[in-house]
Structure formats: C-alpha cells, structure tokens
Amino acid sequence: MSSATLGPAATDSASPSEVTVTDPAMVKRAVKAAALGNAMEWFDFGVYSYIAVTLGKVFFPSGSATAQLLSTFGAFAAAFLVRPLGGLVFGPLGDRIGRQKVLALTMIMMAAGTFAIGLIPSHASIGLWAPALLLLARLVQGFSTGGEYAGASTFIAEYAPDRKRGFLGSWLEFGTLAGYIGGAGLVTLMTALLSTDDLLSWGWRIPFLIAGPMGLIGLYLRMRLEETPAFAAELDKAEEARPKVRLREMVVGQWRALLLCVGLVLVFNVTDYMLLSYMPSYLTSELKYDSAHGLLVVLGVMALMMLVQPFAGRLTDRVGRRPVIAFGCAGFLLLSLPALLLIRQGSLLAIALGMGALGLLLVCFTATMPSTLPALFPTRVRYGSLSIGFNISVSIFGGTTPLVVTALIGATGDVMMPAYYMMAAAVVGGVAVWFMTESARRPLPGSPPAVETEAEARELRAAGARG
C-alpha cells in the first residue's frame, strides 16, 4: 500500500489528507482469507440445517418427528442468542488490536466448535449429556461467529478500492454459498450412499469432523495477511499505540447507523435463513417431499446464486447499493406468496421455479451487504458497531427464523407462514433502504479514498488542489 496527499474537497471522509493505493495481490489474499472463513462457518450451518432430521433422532430420540425437529432447531437458534455477546467481545477488540488478529481467533474457535460436534456421543450412549454437549458446542460456535461476519466484511471493505468494493465484497457471500453447497452436497451424497442405520450411527459425524482441517487452512491464510490500511492509518493517528474506543461511543454515538444496520440485516437474514436453512426441512416435513430431491433443488438454487453473485456485486458498483437492495425488498414483498404457492404445487418444475425466484431476489442482499454494512460506520468504531448491530439483528430475527416459522405453522396450521414472514421482513428492509445513504464509489467514513493505481491517486490530488 502507498499513500499520497489529497485535498479536503476530494472526499467526504473524516480523514481526507491521504489517498490509499491498494496492492492487487494483497487485496486478493484478503478476499480469499475472509471468504474461506465465511465458507467454513456456513458449511457448518448448511450441514446442521440439512441433516436436522437425523440430528433430531440422534440427540432427541423421544417425541414426535415435529418435536425432534423443533428441538434440533432450538439448539440451532441457541447459538444465535450468544452471538451478541461474541460481538460485544470481538468487535471492540477488533477496533483495538486489529482486524487480522481477531479474525484468526474467531477461525480457531469456529473450527473447534464444529469439530467437537462430530465427537459427541449419541443420546443412546450418554443420555441427556448428549444434547447438553451439542448445545455447548453450538454456543462456542455462536460466540465465535459473533465476530466473524462483521470482521470479514470490514476486512474486505477496508482493503478494497472504492470503485470495486461491491464486487470484491460480493465474494464474501460467494464463500457463504460455497460453504452451503459443500455442506448440503455432502449431506445429499451421504443420504444417497449410506443406509438410514449407517447415517444415524456414524455417518452424520463426517461433515462436522471435516471442519478441523478446513479451520487450519483458513487460519494459515489469515495469519499471512497484513492489517488493513484503514486500521493502520487509525493507529498512526492515535495518540497511544492502540486506540481506545468505549462501548458508549459504539452504540449511543452510532444509534442511527445501528438502527439502519439492524433493519438491513433483518431482511437479509430472514430471507437467507428461510430459503437456505428452513426450506429443505419445510419441503420434507410439511410437503412430504422426498428429502434427496428437495436437497438437490436447493443445491441448484444456490449454484445459480453463486453464478450471479459476482455480476450482481459489480452491478452495485455501477448503479449503487440502494437501488439493488430496494429491488430485492420489493420483490420479496410482491413475490413471496406466488413463489410459495408454486413450491406447494409439489412438482419438481414448480418447486425449482419458486425457489429459483426467491434465490435470485436473495442475491440482491448477498451481493450488497458486505459492502453496504461496513460503510455505515466510521473506521474508529466500524468493527465494534457493526458486530453489535449485525449480531443483535441476526440473533433476534435471522437465526430464529426456522424455529419461529415451524412454531407458527404448528400453532396456526397455516402453511403459508414462510411467505408472510418474508413479506414482513421486506417491509422493514424497505424502510431501512429509504433512510440509508448511498455508499457506492465513495470512501469509507473516517478513511481516505482507496484507488487501484497511482494515476488515479494523482487525479484525485489534482481534483483536491482545484477544490
């Protein structure tokens, strides 16, 4: 990285005296390291969601199939209850000691929690200790992921040049989808190759044990990275070696941005968990659809989303984040009911069309959020404030989606509840979009402009001098 002097008129950032010229090789390494960590996180979530019925039989053998599924999703949701605590710890720590160190720590904890699930004895072996240990492992995962997404998106955003932040940020969710496909694909393959008895006795452990070597690879990549230029500049400005940021400054001082963050994350995560985590179980438990075929449909939808993701990210750099997010909110508001009615027709084509439509709408959020959310906060508090807002919203609304929708269907008997839930989330997201400021092609708040070449830096310097 290098820097050059820049006049105040060239940028609205809080520190307009310099312009950062990014190192393309370092940017690529940062994107790969962040995306791989996200892929590992969602590999676990994908496995857990897609093998939920089997896990219910292993850890919660008593009760009906619905009760087993509720218990399994209850343990799934419990991890999200501690995510805000993880955010409160890792977020401020990332603003104090650096993004890279904290992301390495969250990678270790995440891999350890997932690997531990694969080692837990079944309920038949140790009784109630089995679900208790499952819950403990999920809590470790939840605590570590409290600092993962905010840190990874902050890391990419602070490394990326302003004109490509949407495109580069979209690769973070590309990693999410890759993790989901890896987890779901492995479960699908196991379901096809293993007998029910083998899957229940030992097969279900395989996906979780894979997390160990994945975590080591991700840790190696993250340890090789340098600190982001934005954070390094913040350290240089600080009177002491490490900037001290109080929790009050992260919350009260950023209350408007936090509210926008909660609203945007709400619509992003409710629709995300509804489509990628809940729908496979919905197809099986509510529509009595063959589980293998249902998993293949969702895998196809995720593959389609992966293909579109980088192009959608590049689109946000051209037309802006707000129009793309607004389109997604309008789409979920208008098309959730028709899409679910299509899915309920039961034929493979109808299910694929309904799921595909929802998947393409979801790309409006997956392609924009990694670049939109970090731009809500200044560099000094970015990791901490984003961790708090993101995890509060995910914990209350996103991660609980499978549990809440399953409970609502059980209480009301209305199988259209998934559509109503997504429509309500779309309304909240639309309100947040209305009040947010466009951030495409602009410097991050509190950071100098970031460009790809020295020529761009000279151009900005000239513009600043004319200003």
Residue 67 — very low, low, confident or very high, per pLDDT cuts 50/70/90? low
pLDDT single digits (tens) 292-349: 677 778 888 999 999 999 999 999 999 999 999 999 999 999 999 999 999 998 888 8
Which pair of tokens denotes residue 176?
Answer: 């999410």
Three-state secondary-structure class, residue 438 = coil
Count: domains in the chain: 1
Helices of type H across 51-98:
52-59, 65-81, 83-97
- Contact in structure between 63 and 201 (CB atoms under 8 Å): no
pTM of structure: 0.86
Would residue 373 count as lying in a domain?
Answer: yes
Residue 73 — very low, low, confident or very high, per pLDDT cuts 50/70/90? low
Residue 121 backbone phi and psi in degrees, to 5 = -65, 160
Would residue 71 count as lying in a domain?
Answer: yes
Task: Give, for 3, the enclosing helix (H) or strand (E).
Answer: strand 2-5
Please list, in sequence order, all residues whose beta carbon lies within 8 angstroms of the beta carbon of residue 126, skipping any fewer than 6 positions away.
none
Closest to 306 in 3D by CA, of 454, 171, 163: 171
What CATH number is given to the structural domain containing 154?
Answer: 1.20.1250.20
Which residues, listed in sequence order, are joined to residue 18 by a DSSP beta bridge?
5
Please list, in sequence order, all residues whose beta carbon lies within 8 angstroms of the beta carbon of residue 241, skipping any fewer than 6 positions away.
235
Q: What is the pLDDT of residue 139?
A: 87
Q: What is the mean pLDDT of residues 399-425?
A: 90
> Does 10 have pLDDT greater than 60?
no
Would residue 406 count as lying in a domain?
Answer: yes
- Contact in structure between 379 and 373 (CB atoms under 8 Å): no
- Contact in structure between 208 and 118 (CB atoms under 8 Å): yes
Please list, in sequence order, all residues whose beta carbon lies within 8 angstroms of the beta carbon of residue 200, skipping any fewer than 6 positions away.
54, 57, 58
Among left, alpha and beta (phi > 0; psi -120 to 50; other), residue 201 is alpha
Q: Find the domain containing 274 and state its range.
A: 21-438
Would residue 457 count as lying in a domain?
Answer: no
Would residue 13 count as lying in a domain?
Answer: no
Cα Rg of the chain (Å, integer) = 22
- Contact in structure between 285 and 340 (CB atoms under 8 Å): no
Would residue 460 count as lying in a domain?
Answer: no
CA–CA dist 189, 161 (Å, integer):
40
Residue 425 — very low, low, confident or very high, per pLDDT cuts 50/70/90? very high
Would residue 420 count as lying in a domain?
Answer: yes
Would residue 29 count as lying in a domain?
Answer: yes
Q: What is the pLDDT of residue 3?
A: 43
Average pLDDT over the chain, rounded to an integer: 85
Q: What is the pLDDT of residue 2?
A: 46
